[in-house]
Structure 1
Amino acid sequence: MQEWITLMGRLGRVLCGGTALALLGVIVPAQAQDEVAVDELVVTALRSEAPRATVPSTIQIIGESELRVQQSLSMSAVEAVSALVPSFSPTRQKLSGAGETLRGRSPLYLVDGVPQSTPLRDDSRDGFTIDPFFIDRVEVVFGSNAIQGVGATGGVINYVTAPTPKAGQGWTGKVLAQTSFDEGVLDDSFGYKAAGLVGRDFGAWDFVAGAAYETRGGYYDADGRRIGIDATQGELQNSDSWSLFGKAGIELGDERRLEAMLNHFELEGGNDDVLVIGNRAIGLPASARPGVQPGLPTANEVTSAAITYKDRDLFGGVLTAQGFAHDYHGVFGGSITGAFQDVRIAPIGALFDQSANNSQKQGFKLDYERGFEAVPGLKVLAGLDGLKDKTYQELVLTNRVWVPKTTYKSLSPFLQVHQALWDERLHLSAGVRQENATLEVGDFTTLASSGNTRVAGGEPSFTEVLTNVGGTFRVQDGVTAYVSYAQGFTMPDVGRVLRAINTSGRDVDTYLDVAPVVSDNVELGVEFARGPLNGSLAWFSSASDKGALLVLNAGGAFDVQRQRTEIEGLEATLRWKAADWLTLGAAYSRLEGRTDGNGDGRVDQDLDGANISPDRLTLTADATYGAFDFRLQGQVFEARSFQGQPTANNFEGYELLDAVAAWNAPFGVVSLGIRNLLDEQYITYNSDTTNPTDNSRYFAGQGRAVTLGIVRAF
């Protein structure tokens, strides 16, 4: 009872603090929520052209106007997802997303279905691979599933890119100019962005292409202090990024289309700041001051390409074939860490080095779906996926190999059956996927810090059969209930294991446990849309016998340990159209996670903040007044203690209030966004709940920041 009293007290402070601004007209834009009837919505991430109401899973679509509102607060797609998806972790506000989870597990990021993750050496940079200006919508499929292959133990986050113009549209496009700054430190925090997108329909073929450039200033906390830089994992503040995007399609008849997509994204951090270490004992966060960082700047360089062919009338069914490639190069900051030392190169304690993670993927996806007149309501989806992922981690200044070249090859057939009954009031579905994978590692030698150990290579393999079953039932018009069981899987971070081998006589075939992390997800839910009210309620449970947890070691780094994990949670949403000009919304998530800390097969301690998000309540208000739209959104992150974890990792909780105003002017949409309106001083969730002895990563969150922009469509 006391925690609910505390929660309502915090909520009251958030709402009272926003009242003055609301009176000035800054609330939520009504069009910020893209209302789509649940029976009409089709989600491409599910690989089946089925209405949303027939899918037994929790799904959230973040539409173009919602993204535009969130980008008026923060120019990051990850921040938009975190703000709008209640069971997604608060972001670190850094380039690395380590510890950012969906329902307590890692999500799989896609761009038009192309996987962006690097599971063999997971560096958690997969949220920054495309500029959000080119994203038309974000599809979030909650919970473990294997429909997209490896990686989706927490769910799928699919960035769907801007479409080409429709037939008869001619030339279309949009341009954006945006600036952001801390309202108290204007010069050092100043950043700006410019982007453009243009397309044309030529009848038989069409295209869309664009470019974006962004430079970011320094971040300041609510006390006016510069926020500390993560010199190792990578920074967003004082960084520059540019991106190119293109998509072209050709109609090969009334029912056939061939389309190609290309996305290139680069982000590079500045080297003109150095870290000022904080002090956890007295609550002083880490800061930064002008200085020169040695080594190469931290960076992300990503290229994704896909060619997709769709035939909507092949023997009475729909064929979709996609071939894709993905090339990733991520540079991390340098240090004189013990892992890099080698007396053959420099005296111990003097060798400065830095790493880069590299991953190249090629793959294909084949889907064929059709119904059968002999069995009304029956649809069958059959498919075959192929993937080759080559990953390695190098030390770029001394030209050494830290993680050897590791190649993951898989060939995975799947079958999904859907049956509609009772005049399509009941929908049943079931499926099976067989993952056949091999991991290839050649002979290699570890670094000197691991004893220059010779390790024999190998080709361990596994076959895993993954199943799903579920159903939806239309209780009455506008009310649908669903239940499902689904398995998802991912690979353990084998790179961390391989680079740490320090005992001679090892070989990859017998030493490396490549058994995938298989998670079993059970979900019960209901969605409703009746008159001015719509909402949802979902309960879920997720368990894995051999999870892959981030566990802090004695050296201050995180290792991956295979432990049983169990996660249970509740999610609820509610939207009320109170008047033609006003819509109110609320979302709540509550998660509990436990793990087996002593290896006896029974869960006995809580998951910590590196592996699970806090409970969260989000409230929004949407309003329109003539040509003006407004948004006010408040978030309450509840305090949490972790049984079995150090008390220093306990989370204090905090509240944030954001506001956006938009003017739909004749010359474009002018927006003003204010992030952290009440200038709340807080420590970010990841910093507060992990590594309690590390003062160098004791980071405050960003204080009040202003973003002013204009978008013109034509």
Structure 2
Amino acid sequence: MKSVAMGNKGSLARLLLCTVAPLAMFQTASTATAQEAIEDDTDLTVVVTASRTEESISSIPGTVQVIGQDEIKGAVDASGDITSALARLVPGFSLDNETLSGGGQNFRGRSVQILVNGAPRTTALRKLSRALSLIDPNSIERIEVINGASAVYGDGATGGVINIITKTAEEEGWSGEVSTTISASERDVKDSLNVLTSVNAGFRQENTHAHVSGQFKNTGDMFDGSGTQISEDPITGQGGGSGIEQYNLSGQLGYEGDAFDVTIYANLVKMEQEIKYQTDYTTDPVSIDPSKPYLGLPPLEDSKNINATFNFYEVGGLFDAKIELYYNDAEKRAAFVPLSAANPVAYLPDVNESQTVLFAKQAGVRTTFDAELNSIYEGLALTWGSDYSYNDISQTIPDGRDIISPMKQHGFAQFAQVKAPIGEMFEVRGGVRHERFFLRMDSFVRPNALVPNPFYTNPGDPLTATIGEHTFTAADKDYSATVFNLGGVAHLNDKLDVFAGFSQGFSVPDVGSFTRRAMPLNPFVDGVVDVSDVAPEAVIVNNFELGARYNTQALSLSVSAFYSTSDKGVNFDDATQTVLQAEERIWGAELNIRGQLNEAWGAGAVLAYKEGVWDENKDGDLDEDLPNNRIGSPFKATVFSDYSFGNGFSLQGEAVFGSGRSGKEGAKGDLKKLKPTFTMNASASYNSDYGDFRFGATNIFDTKQQNTTATALRDREVPAEGRRFFLQYTKTF
């Protein structure tokens, strides 16, 4: 039962790189090479592992995208952050927020689950989004993206799944790569200098292989289009994109046999951000306040991740089996924000130690079984399995006192999926997954704290008040759901597929944020809070999608429309520091088109629209626009082109547009207006026997504009970075 693609794993990455271009995305950095590969290997099948089993893209009733390593490199030249690549290349993903955090970034207005080699990197129960910025782009072989609600990997993927597949050694003997990227703003070359260096080395001998990746990243100051330095923490404790020193080390070992394979992957990340000055959140846009030195500890990341995958083929001559194990241990420290309108809580006795530290441990086991049932019905296939997950989450201030209920959660799930052809034209599939979580919220005492005085009326009144020390009782809460998916693909001819699908996603909300902000009836005295009264309900998202894929050697097109609903959507109100759940609807459309105009010239566009409403005041009418931190710019577009001169020299250019947003009046007033943005990026590359060179600039017109996604997170205007020049050198051996 071991497929051709699975049986030739030594060349799987090469096959994917050669065939992804016509079926999902042209490799903008090497279109001519991809075109030659298409002509030689038109019958090759692209497989996607983000769906638990290897699938042909043409058989999936939903939007699927695969981004190859050449395109990843071309999209992260200046920043060294794959978030910028995903923001421009994935239609449903938010525009880049240019920080170390993923705050404000979502997928089709909902949560996204980040995986590395199938293992989760997003933290459950308490969100602190740093997953993407911590991944070395030069260690990536490809990125697989599945749009829309999905429960295939369990909790969290209500908007989509992004699965990052790291490199393996493909060539016999030793192979490797060294890459260095430097970039700077002409405003202050020395202080704005970014340096990103990556080293990859691999070794393969017959059935065994090993690969090691290392990265060093150091970022300097950032300046907007007017030359003003951008705040080092522009989005309230999330951390910025400057002053980062990061080390990333990963390794992979594997064995490939006829009966079984095993791969073990481990990753270590260390990151600190140096912040010199506090941010003034009262200015528009937010700005650095050089009169106030930063008083807190540096934002920090210390994470360790390991996962192992075992594949067994033709077990008893009946089915293939996969067992996946993972363990993550992360410490994530946020930036210090003084007591202000931006941070209305400062814990006593030392308000300068009010920053928070998140500790997250995750472990899990996934089993997947795949059987072909041709004896029952030609082409019938059954996939089934079960999952177990464990999460241990706590959040403290630096002296160790808890500010959320320490939580431990055990999750269990079983699933089954059936797919079958109907004649020669149609394929259908359907599945069910039952999920159950057992959550234990421990008792804790939340420290007393200073808050702005809510009774301030006269100049003589005190500016602050003290809320009491609140005791939270322990509680147990169970979450369970049974979710479904059903869809089909019509292969109208060998170039055109039309698909329609329904899928559900399941998510346990950010429970920690509820226990952090819950208050007794009189918050200014010591009190007791029953945790079971404030824990949120689980979220089930229904996603409907209709689309088409058209692929030839010269043109690749994917278009889709979607509509998603939820009765328990979660929204955070920064003004009141409260978290609300209410009914909501989101809809949108996406277009991804790539073309080869001739042997030298390629071009394409990525277009996306989304909008959403919710029942904010719970009157039964969905007549308020969803907050900006859910939608951001409803319309975004990336238009790009590249030209190869045939002598190793090529040019690339792109324009990125965001529509901004003027939300209508809701239950709590108008949404902050988000301004339209337009950014031009350009680069040139030269491939030689001595190595590959790439140079260019982002925001080449040095446009002064709003960072839409960062602004949307807290409804405080944040400027986008101005022009930045970069130079990259890569040597493969």
Instruction: With the length of structure 2 as denominator, give the TM-score of the two structures.
Output: 0.87
Could you tell me how far apart the structure 1 residues matched to 2:281 and 2:177 are? 43
| Residue of structure 2 in register with 1:459 after alignment | 476
- Give the 3 Å change call, closer, same or farther, for CA 312–267 of structure 1 in structure 2: same
Q: Is the 8 A contact 1:45 1:139 kept in 2?
A: yes
Q: Give the stretch that moved more between structures: 376-385 or 203-212.
A: 203-212
Q: Is the 8 A contact 2:584 2:614 kept in 1?
A: yes
| Residue of structure 1 in register with 2:673 after alignment | 650
- Give the 3 Å change call, closer, same or farther, for CA 98–162 of structure 1 in structure 2: same
| Residue of structure 2 in register with 1:580 after alignment | 599
| Residue of structure 1 in register with 2:524 after alignment | none
Could you tell me how far apart the structure 2 residues matched to 1:576 and 1:259 are? 36
Q: Give the stretch that moved more between structures: 182-191 or 356-365.
A: 182-191
| Residue of structure 1 in register with 2:51 after alignment | 46
| Residue of structure 1 in register with 2:188 after alignment | 185
Could you tell me how far apart the structure 2 residues matched to 1:541 and 1:622 are? 34
Q: Is the 8 A contact 2:122 2:131 kept in 1?
A: yes
| Residue of structure 2 in register with 1:112 after alignment | 117
| Residue of structure 2 in register with 1:483 after alignment | 500
| Residue of structure 1 in register with 2:86 after alignment | 81
Q: Is the 8 A contact 2:514 2:535 kept in 1?
A: no
1:508 Cα shift? Answer: 3.0
Could you tell me how far apart the structure 1 residues matched to 2:488 and 2:311 are? 28
Aligned pairs for 1:20-31 within 5 A: 29-31=29-31
Instruction: With the length of structure 1 as denominator, give the TM-score of the two structures.
Output: 0.90
Q: Is the 8 A contact 1:131 1:265 kept in 2?
A: no
Q: Partner of 1:438: helix, strand, or coil? A: strand
Q: What do residues 467-500 of structure 1 show as CA deviations (whole Å, max 9, x unaligned)? A: 0000001011200000000000111111111122
Q: What do residues 228-276 of structure 1 show as CA deviations (whole Å, max 9, x unaligned)? A: 121622122111101101000123x313111100011122101334435
Matched, 1:224 2:227: yes
| Residue of structure 1 in register with 2:359 after alignment | 358
Could you tell me how far apart the structure 2 residues matched to 1:134 and 1:530 are? 30
| Residue of structure 2 in register with 1:266 after alignment | 270
Aligned pairs for 1:424-463 within 5 A: 425-449=425-449, 451-463=468-480
Could you tell me how far apart the structure 2 residues matched to 1:221 and 1:32 are? 36
1:633 Cα shift? Answer: 0.7
Q: What do residues 613-645 of structure 1 show as CA deviations (whole Å, max 9, x unaligned)? A: 310122111210120122111111113211125
Unaligned runs of 5+ in 2: 1-26, 450-466, 521-526
Could you tell me how far apart the structure 2 residues matched to 1:90 and 1:683 are? 11
Could you tell me how far apart the structure 1 residues matched to 2:289 and 2:201 are? 40
Q: Give the stretch that moved more between structures: 211-220 or 572-581.
A: 572-581
Q: What do residues 307-326 of structure 1 show as CA deviations (whole Å, max 9, x unaligned)? A: 11001221332111011001
Could you tell me how far apart the structure 1 residues matched to 2:479 and 2:714 are? 34
| Residue of structure 2 in register with 1:7 after alignment | none
Identity %: 24
| Residue of structure 2 in register with 1:566 after alignment | 585
Q: Give the residue type in structure 1 aligned to 2:385.
A: G
Could you tell me how far apart the structure 2 residues matched to 1:162 and 1:439 are? 36
Could you tell me how far apart the structure 2 residues matched to 1:290 and 1:93 are? 25
Q: Is the 8 A contact 1:649 1:690 kept in 2?
A: no
**Residue 693 of structure 2, aligned match among 670, 682, 703:** 670
Q: Is the 8 A contact 1:34 1:62 kept in 2?
A: no
Q: Give the residue type in structure 2 aligned to 1:142.
A: N
Could you tell me how far apart the structure 1 residues matched to 2:291 and 2:247 are? 24
Could you tell me how far apart the structure 2 residues matched to 1:34 and 1:541 are? 34
Could you tell me how far apart the structure 2 residues matched to 1:224 and 1:38 are? 53
Q: Is the 8 A contact 2:433 2:482 kept in 1?
A: yes
Q: Partner of 1:333: helix, strand, or coil? A: coil
Q: What do residues 517-547 of structure 1 show as CA deviations (whole Å, max 9, x unaligned)? A: 1100000000101452220110000110001
Aligned pairs for 1:166-565 within 5 A: 166=171, 169-230=172-233, 232-251=237-256, 253-275=257-279, 279-280=283-284, 285-287=286-288, 289=290, 292-315=293-316, 316-337=318-339, 341=346, 345=349, 351-374=352-375, 375-396=377-398, 398-423=399-424, 425-449=425-449, 451-503=468-520, 504=527, 506-509=529-532, 511-530=533-552, 532-554=554-576, 557=577, 559-565=578-584
1:203 Cα shift? Answer: 2.5
Could you tell me how far apart the structure 1 residues matched to 2:111 and 2:539 are? 11
- Give the 3 Å change call, closer, same or farther, for CA 669–624 of structure 1 in structure 2: same
Could you tell me how far apart the structure 2 residues matched to 1:585 and 1:198 are? 33
- Give the 3 Å change call, closer, same or farther, for CA 32–550 of structure 1 in structure 2: farther
Could you tell me how far apart the structure 1 residues matched to 2:528 and 2:188 are? 58
| Residue of structure 2 in register with 1:604 after alignment | 623
Unaligned runs of 5+ in 1: 1-26
| Residue of structure 2 in register with 1:4 after alignment | none
Matched, 1:56 2:75: no
Q: What do residues 312-344 of structure 1 show as CA deviations (whole Å, max 9, x unaligned)? A: 22133211101100111111112343765456x
Q: Give the stretch that moved more between structures: 571-580 or 674-683.
A: 571-580
Q: Is the 8 A contact 1:394 1:400 kept in 2?
A: yes
Could you tell me how far apart the structure 2 residues matched to 1:451 and 1:127 are? 38
| Residue of structure 2 in register with 1:16 after alignment | none
Q: Give the residue type in structure 1 aligned to 2:205.
A: F
- Give the 3 Å change call, closer, same or farther, for CA 702–206 of structure 1 in structure 2: same
1:123 Cα shift? Answer: 1.7
- Give the 3 Å change call, closer, same or farther, for CA 507–679 of structure 1 in structure 2: same
Could you tell me how far apart the structure 1 residues matched to 2:468 and 2:440 are? 23
**Residue 641 of structure 2, aligned match among 576, 598, 621:** 621
Q: Give the residue type in structure 2 aligned to 1:156.
A: V
Q: Is the 8 A contact 2:571 2:627 kept in 1?
A: no
Q: Is the 8 A contact 2:392 2:408 kept in 1?
A: yes
Matched, 1:632 2:633: no
Q: What do residues 160-184 of structure 1 show as CA deviations (whole Å, max 9, x unaligned)? A: 1111335xx1101111111110123
- Give the 3 Å change call, closer, same or farther, for CA 291–188 of structure 1 in structure 2: farther
Could you tell me how far apart the structure 2 residues matched to 1:610 and 1:659 are? 29
Higher relative contact order (CA 8 A, sep 6+): 1
